[in-house]
Amino acid sequence: MKNIFTLFFWLACVFMSSSQETKTKNKEIDEIIDNLFNEDEIIDELIKSLSNFEYIYISNSYSSSTYFSGRDIQIEQYNLKPQLSYVNSKGFFASLSGIYYSGFVPNWDVTIASIGFGKYIGNKKLFKYSTSYSKYFYNNEIDNLFTNAITGSFSFRDRSKFFGSQISGTFLFGEEESYQFTSSSYLLLNLLKTKKYYIKFRPQINVIAGKQTIELATIRLYNDIPIRDITRNDVFDLINTQFNFPIEISVNSFDMEFGYNLNLPAALGEERNLKSTSYFNFSIGYLFNL
């Protein structure tokens, strides 16, 4: 493929609670951050290399294991994330995506519709801003605290395209409100490149922090009867640090990725002895020129 695919917008969301009584809600919160944080490729270098275009990109990604905010939920399952994306040279983009979990009932968990706008700054196109809105349509019966997300990001890359970095922030709202921030940096190494195909290695580190609601339980006696009091405190804290090691392959209009991913979750509230988690991913996509 003559042009290179690179992710330029992040739809990430987060909210976390340490109480055992709120695990169902935590699953939804973590699901948003994990399943939209690592998605899905909207064209970046096409915008830089072409002056007028419209493209549709169809992709599907597979992850060998499922973790939420890097945490093991003791369910062995894979997940699939199909996505349909549209982008044009004016900076407008839109996408429709979904998430399938092999171990959940129902398997199809959520559908996400997103629209946004992004542009490079300056003639050298080294800096870029982007903003987007996402709507979540859940296919489950649990309480879904967040059904909307607004994300803004600012990114930079050097002239040689060897190094790049991005900072993004997301505001979540619905039944409740929260926010999260993500800092990402990557290196881009060309392993093999011709006119028709390329192979690249793109290691990346992502640091994710956000607003957390920590629930603390205390027991007191009233007339010799134990009474449990719950105190809720909102704090801003580190959630997860993730390392990605993907190999990107592009042949004509086809695009593939094979990767290994490592999570180092940060303990929140009463969490103790969190272990690192890892998984493999594979994705394939096709570009249609309109």
pLDDT score of 40: 41
pLDDT score of 141: 74
Question: Are 284 and 255 a contacting pair, CB within 8 Å?
Answer: yes
Average pLDDT over residues 86-115: 92
**pLDDT over threshold 50, residue 185:** yes
Domain range list for the chain: 20-289
Reported confidence tier of residue 36, pLDDT bands at 50, 70, 90: very low
**pLDDT over threshold 80, residue 20:** no
Per residue in 197-216, pLDDT tens?
Answer: 899 999 999 999 988 765 54
Q: Give this prediction's pTM.
A: 0.78
153 Cβ neighbours under 8 A, 6+ residues apart = 9, 10, 129, 130, 131, 166, 167, 168, 169
pLDDT score of 259: 97
d(CA 267, CA 152): 27
Q: Which CATH architecture has domain 20-289?
A: Beta Barrel (2.40)
Strand partners, 278: 262
Residue of higher predicted confidence among 19 and 160: 160
Average pLDDT over residues 110-121: 94
**Of 17-26, 47-56, 200-209, 273-282, which range is least confident?**
17-26
67 Cβ neighbours under 8 A, 6+ residues apart = 34, 73, 263, 277, 279
What mean pLDDT value characterizes the chain? 80
